[in-house]
Amino acid sequence: QVQLVESGGGLVQSGGSLRLSCAASGTFFSINDMGWYRQPPGKQRELVVIIRKDGSTNYADSVKGRFTISRDNAKNTVYLQMNSLKPEDTAVYYCYAEVWPTRWVKSDDWGQGTQVIVSS
């Protein structure tokens, strides 16, 4: 019912920066939480950061101080500014949204993923 479209991934050197974007489209009543997860090569998906509708956030310790999440509720879009990137940040990054298709139903939705590669 909702589609999350991500952009902004790519290849950067260690210490560089990237900005990811994710826009939600489709038919839905509202979106509550939004955020980013990532899956490093050979590992399981892990939380990067969540931002709630009121702007409160929860960052993974591994990215705290380097990554910044923001959202534009009018555009149903969430962003991830990634600074001081490290090779350990290399992963497929997935956008997440807690979508309420109606006021009675919740759906956890995911983007297609965008690749981030950080070289040494």
Question: φ, ψ for residue 89 (rounded to 5)?
Answer: -80, -10
Query: pLDDT at position 93, please?
Result: 98
Stretch 68-95: mean pLDDT: 97
Predicted confidence band at 114 (pLDDT cuts at 50, 70, 90)? very high
Stretch 24-38: mean pLDDT: 95
Q: What are residue 20's DSSP bridge partners?
A: 80
Stretch 1-30: mean pLDDT: 95
Residue for token digits 């991830």?
80
* Residues 8 and 23 sit within 8 Å (Cβ to Cβ): no
Structure tokens at 96: 């997440």
Query: pLDDT at position 41, please?
Result: 96
Predicted confidence band at 1 (pLDDT cuts at 50, 70, 90)? confident
Q: What is the mean pLDDT of the chain?
A: 96
- Three-class secondary structure of residue 41 per DSSP: coil
